[in-house]
Structure formats: structure tokens, C-alpha cells
Amino acid sequence: MDLAGQVALVTGSGRGIGRAIALALADHGANLVINDVVAESAKVVAAETEELGREAMAVAADVTDEAAVQEMIDSVLDRFGRIDILVNNAGITRDALLIRMSEEQWDAVLSINLKAAFLCTKAVARLMLKARSGRIINIASVVGLTGNAGQANYSASKGGLVALTKTTAQELGSRGITCNAVAPGFIETEMTEALPDEAREQMLRRVPLGRAGHTTDVANVAVFLAGPAASYITGQVITVDGGMVM
């Protein structure tokens, strides 16, 4: 699990699962690029990363904008000269029943959850192809595998991310680049804390282990996929859901 000297870019890492992944990668030796649309959140996590003895930079780039993504990549190259690990984690929800969902709700979720991953992967893949190595990890969701009432946009975006993962793995594998997805289930985050008690209880009843997961549960799998022990794993979707989806 030694990632010493490697550089990891984690999108949407100012809080929640993204923050946990960034700190876990740092804990295993990686230097970090903390990306978040909220600049102050990115700076806080970058400071936490530096407290672990790693180098870190905070970048408040809009990852749905191709020019902004390229500017971010250029700034990372100026600072570190490389990107070894990309974690596409940025994501939002805008829940509504399909017949009540607005075009704006659909577009916002697909843009941040799927388009951003495409843009970041495209930009970073060019660097990894030259280096003939790299790890790309997409944070999907179990609802991308099963669907979920009230989340047509979110489940579609995460299902698309699974398909993007498999295609990327096929296109880049011959150059030593792996691409895998992690599909969390019911994880304790600010997003899930906002759910009504009835909705939380309903979700927990579907989990054989009987509890919600922690952000560190997802982060541990991401670290494994980023490390040398996962060098022969690509195009896979690993669920971290307490058995919710089997």
C-alpha cells in the first residue's frame, strides 16, 4: 500500500467521502491535490494533508468546465510534475420523482457526476499514457447498479460512470493504466445526515450488516485500488455497502 512519492488528484475532496479518500492516500505516502468548488473547504483539507507530512495543494476548479480542468492540470504539473492517481469523486444530488424532475435538476447532476469525470479522465489520461502507468478510480454508487425511486438523474449519472469506468479500462489497459469504480451504499456523510429519519431507517433495513458505512470504509478500498496490490485489477466495480446489493 506504499504510495510514497506519488501524486493523487481527488475531485470534490473538501468534505465527506472525498476528504476521507484524500487523507487515506496521504496516510499511505501520496502527495495530494485537493479539488473542491468551495475554496475554503479545499484549503482546510490541504492543511490536514500537510499535517500528515505530505505536500498538498488546494485547487477550487469547476470540474464541469474543460478549460478550468486543463488549467488545474497545468497548475498541478507546475507544482508536482506528475499525476499518478485520479479519483473522480465530485458529485451532487437533486432528488425528485421522474415526472416532477426539472431539466435543470437533470443537467446539474449529470454534469457534475458524469461529465466532470469524463473531462478529468481525458485530461489526466494523456499524462498517464506518456508515463505508461496510472490509477483512475471513479466513485459511483449502488444506485447506479440498481436504480432508485426519486433519483433518476443520480442513478443515471452513476450508471454512466460505471460504463465510463469499463470503457476507460479497455482503452488504457495496454499502457499499464487501471480504471476501477467504487460503489458506496448507505454511508454516513453530510448528504445522508440530511435524510428524514424514516428514510434512513428504510435504507438501513436493506443492509444485512445492520449499520451505515463510514467514509473510511470507502477510502480503504480506494487506497487499495490505487496501490501496487491492485495492479492486475481493472474495469471492476467494487460495492462498499454492507451487503445491500448482492
**Residue linked to cell 458506496:** 184
Using alpha carbons, list the distances in angstroms from residue 177 to 62, 149, 163, 197, 233. Answer: 25, 35, 17, 42, 10
Confidence of residue 215 (pLDDT cuts 50, 70, 90): very high
Instruction: Note the pLDDT tens digit of each residue in 178-209.
Output: 999 999 999 998 777 777 788 788 889 999 99
Instruction: Note the pLDDT tens digit of each residue in 47-101.
Output: 999 999 999 999 999 999 999 999 999 999 999 999 999 999 999 999 999 999 9
d(CA 155, CA 110): 10
232 among known catalytic residues: no
Instruction: Note the pLDDT tens digit of each residue in 133-160.
Output: 999 999 999 999 999 999 999 999 999 9
Residue 195: its pLDDT value, please? 73
d(CA 206, CA 83): 39
Instruction: Name the grid cell of 201.
Output: 431507517
- Among residues 114, 210, 129, the alpha carbon closest in space to that of 160 is found at 114
Active-site position among 154, 161, 181, 240: 154
Residue 144: its pLDDT value, please? 98
User: Which strands make up the sheet holding 237-240, listed edge to edge?
Assistant: 56-59, 31-35, 7-10, 85-88, 134-139, 177-184, 237-240
Residue-averaged pLDDT of the chain = 96
Residue 200: its pLDDT value, please? 82
